[in-house]
Structure formats: structure tokens, C-alpha cells
Amino acid sequence: MKWFEVQAAADGRHADVWINDQIGIDWWSGDGTTASAFINAIASLGDVEALTVHINSPGGDVADGIAIANYLRGHKAQVTTRVEGIAASIAATIAMGGDRREMATGSLLMIHDPWTVAMGNATEMRKLADDLDTIRNGILELFVARAGEPRRVEIQEAMRAETWMTGEDAMALGLIDAVETDIKAAASIGDYSRALAAAGRSAQQHLDHQKTPDKMPPAPSAMSAADALALAFDIEPDQAEARAAELGDQILAWRDKPATSPAPDTAALQREAVAAERERVVAIIDTCTTTGQHQLMAKLVSSDMQTDTAREYVFDVAAASSTGVHSSHSPEGGQRAGIDTQGIYARRRARSAS
């Protein structure tokens, strides 16, 4: 599956490129293509005079993204990059490759420091931190090259804080040249949006199971007092009629006795169900984000797995992942998990027994 499309205009002097998904090879599914395929596709256009790159991407592979950004910067054509949905993480770096940089009204740009999930000893972890600093500095230079040296500290702080920007915000920081109101913002198709959509469906299902039915059951046909008493006390109607006064007193006594089980508050139950589902989804997203296991979000959110069980599952997958710096720099980043299924369930059984 390609994450880009290239199309030349009829006159052969202008071409459009669309980046509409995660950049590079998807480490989890193995889908996608490399930066080399992207560069070769543009090179095959020949000597075009103008190149417009339309971006709607959650990010992707760091090395591929930097290679594409520098290729666009050095291209002989007049290159315009347009953010038409989101340009997050390394996709924001690609947006810096244009001679002119634009954002559609309503689109978003996100910059942040690179991160990873890894295991190792103290020496390995210190080296990993140094490697991440080196990667961050390289990305920082691409932003500073567009915004200008006086903006270095401001951009560095924005990266450290993980900052989402509107077109106006990005223009104020010097990263883009214009906000184009005639460009329609496109929707992102990243894993986050899929996870949140699944969360919405899950919460709605909980509500649907608890809603008051639109049609109430038909009212029972009228019955005599004797019939009602007979039904209540499981006796014959003639017996109920003979003992009407006595049975009536018993019913009045029951009526006046304080209720021990009040009728459930349906609205409150609905609110509690929605709040509980929201907390479960937020906990799953937070755990997946913290451990870098974003590929598990949609699966866990759409399941009925409870919070503690989901967290344990995510931590087990993260622990089974191989060590190293992830080249993925996107919110959907991470590293392919080498999952030891037997080991995971053995640890669960051991914890349950303790």
C-alpha cells in the first residue's frame, strides 16, 4: 500500500503529490513504501517547473521523512507544500521542504521531540538518550532553516512540549508563509482517530442497552378489586372478596412501609456507564501512548477488556518488544513486537496465583 500519489498536469510543467498516510514502511503490518520510491516517482516526472505537495499525514519514519524534506528543498522546481489535514511529527518536517509553505484553514501542524520505548542496562539507556538528542537536533535544524535562527529556542521549547498548531500559530512561529482559506481541510486517518471513533461506538452501545424503550408495553386490561387481591395473594377470587377488608389492610401496611430497594435512576445509570467507558478508553490510550504500543489502541478500545486487564496486556506486549531506537517518529510509532505468547500468559498466571 502506497502512502503517496503523484500526478502530472496535462501541460507537463506542473505536478501534484499527495501524502495521505503514515510515511515509510509500517513496522507493524509491513505495508508501505520507502522514501526512495517517493523520490523516484517525482524524478520520473522530468523537469517540471512547479510541484505542489498536499500533506495529510500523522507522521512516520524519521529517516524517510528527513530524506524527503531535503529532496524537496533541493528540487529545481518551485515547490509548494500544503497541509490539508494534519502534518504531525515527521510529516511536519516534510512540510518544511517547500519553497512556499501553506496550511488550509482548520488544518493542524504538530512538532515534538523524538521518543522511543526500549529495554536495556544503564549504559545502553544512556546511549539511547544521546541518540535521541542527536535525532532531535537534526530535526530542529530543518525547522530553524525555515523560521530563522532567532526562533531556535522557541521552536526547541515547542518540540519539547509537543505542540499542536493551527495555521495562524505556525505562521506566527515562522514555519509557514500563509493560511489559505480556499483550501479545504481534509480529515486525518491516523490510528488515534480510529481509536476515538471506536470509543464513541463502544460508549453508544453501552447507552443503547440502557435506553428506555420508545414503545411502552400495552396497559393491562381492567380487573375487579377482588381479581386484583386474588392475584396479589394467590388465592381464589371468591376468597379474596370475602377477605377484602383484611387483605386491603395488609396492602396499605406494605404501601406505608419504607422501601428498601428504591427504583433505579436510569439517567444516573446512563451517566455512570458513559463516565466509566470514557475512563476506560482514556486509560487505554494513555497506556498505549506511554509504552509506544499505539497499534493496540483500536483493538483494545473496541473490545470489552477492562482497564486493568488492558493495561497488563499492553505492558506485556511492550516488555516482549525488541530493544533499540525506533525510526518511527509519528504518534503511530513504535517497534514491531516479538511477542512471546506463552511467556505472557505464564506471567499472568503467576500474578493471579500470588
**Euclidean distance between CA atoms 162 and 297, whole angstroms:** 20
**Euclidean distance between CA atoms 195 and 190, whole angstroms:** 9
**Euclidean distance between CA atoms 286 and 81, whole angstroms:** 32
Cell of 189: 486517518
Instruction: Give every CB contact of residue 31 below 8 A, 6+ residues apart in sequence.
Output: 1, 25
Please answer whether residues 283 and 310 qualify as being in contact, where contact means their C-beta atoms are separated by less than 8 angstroms: yes
Q: Return the CA Rg of the chain.
A: 31
- The backbone torsions φ and ψ at residue 349, rounded to the nearest 5 degrees and listed phi first, read -65, -40
Provide the pairing of β-strand 50-57 with 108-111: unpaired
**Euclidean distance between CA atoms 33 and 36, whole angstroms:** 8
- State the pLDDT confidence band at 339, using cuts at 50, 70 and 90: very low
SS3 176: coil
pLDDT at 323: 42
What is the model's pTM?
A: 0.55
Cell of 327: 525510526
Instruction: Give every CB contact of residue 321 below 8 A, 6+ residues apart in sequence.
Output: 117, 119, 292, 293, 334, 335, 336, 337, 338
Cell of 205: 452501545
pLDDT in tens, 77-97: 999 999 999 999 999 999 999
**Of the segments 35-44, 229-238, 274-283, which one has the largest average pLDDT value?**
35-44
Cell of 63: 529517516
3.60.110.10, 3.90.226.10, 3.30.70.270, 3.40.50.2300: CATH of 4-188: 3.90.226.10
pLDDT at 261: 56
pLDDT at 334: 42
- State the pLDDT confidence band at 258, using cuts at 50, 70 and 90: low
Please answer whether residues 334 and 294 qualify as being in contact, where contact means their C-beta atoms are separated by less than 8 angstroms: yes
- State the pLDDT confidence band at 117, using cuts at 50, 70 and 90: confident
pLDDT at 268: 75
Please answer whether residues 102 and 178 qualify as being in contact, where contact means their C-beta atoms are separated by less than 8 angstroms: yes
At 93, the amino acid letter reads T
**Of the segments 10-14, 208-212, 247-251, which one has the largest average pLDDT value?**
10-14
Give the mean pLDDT of the chain: 77
> How many CB atoms sit inside 10 A of residue 320's CB?
15
Nearest to 210 by CA among 264, 259, 278: 264
**Euclidean distance between CA atoms 229 and 240, whole angstroms:** 6
Q: What is the DSSP string of 84-96?
A: EEEEETHHHHHHT
pLDDT in tens, 161-194: 999 999 999 999 999 999 987 765 554 444 444 4
* Candidate from 41-45, 172-176, 306-310, 329-333 with smallest mean pLDDT: 329-333
Extents of the domains making up the chain: 4-188, 194-212+265-353
pLDDT at 189: 42
Please answer whether residues 130 and 206 qualify as being in contact, where contact means their C-beta atoms are separated by less than 8 angstroms: no
pLDDT in tens, 25-40: 765 566 677 889 999 9
Kindly state the average pLDDT of the residues 266-280.
77
Instruction: Give every CB contact of residue 144 below 8 A, 6+ residues apart in sequence.
Output: 151, 152, 155
How much of the chain, in percent, has pLDDT values that exceed 70? 66
The larger pLDDT score, comparing residue 272 to residue 205, is at 272
Catalytic residues: 89, 112
Which residues pair with residue 32 across a beta bridge? Answer: 25
Cell of 84: 490539508
Cell of 98: 517547500
Please answer whether residues 112 and 89 qualify as being in contact, where contact means their C-beta atoms are separated by less than 8 angstroms: yes
Residue 352 above 70 pLDDT? no
Cell of 283: 486509560
**Which segments of the chain does DSSP mark as H helices, in order?**
35-43, 62-74, 90-95, 122-147, 152-161, 167-172, 191-210, 225-233, 237-242, 244-256, 266-291, 297-302, 307-320, 341-353
Q: Is 69 left (phi over 0), alpha (psi -120 to 50) or beta?
A: alpha
The larger pLDDT score, comparing residue 302 to residue 144, is at 144
SS3 118: coil
